[in-house]
Amino acid sequence: MPIYLLLINALGFALMCIDKYKAKQNLWRIPEKTLFFVALLGGSLGCLLGMYAVRHKTKHARFVVGMPLIMGIQIVLLLFLLK
């Protein structure tokens, strides 16, 4: 489980960085649903860190609210499962 979380969060971080690069270069972009899907799979922390590290999607309410919400739900679920 820890290895999975490390990998999925690294993927989330990388996808945010890659999408920011592609946005600046006017290249084909990573779909938003893909970014949210990776977050839902457990990569919400990586996506959040990537968002703020490269200042990507930080003006989009869907991301500013959605990513922390997903992470909060995941933390609550994790705490519930560890009880």
Helix (H, G, I), strand (E, B) or coil at 45: helix
The pLDDT tens digits of the residues spanning 41-64 come to: 999 999 999 999 999 999 999 999
Question: Average pLDDT over the chain, rounded to whole?
Answer: 96
The pLDDT tens digits of the residues spanning 20-34 come to: 999 999 999 999 999
CA distance 33 to 31: 5
> What pLDDT score was predicted for residue 83?
82
Percent share of the chain, pLDDT over 70: 100
> What pLDDT score was predicted for residue 12?
98
Angle at 10 between CA 2 and CA 74, to 5 degrees: 55
CA distance 19 to 16: 5
67 is written with which tokens? 């990513």
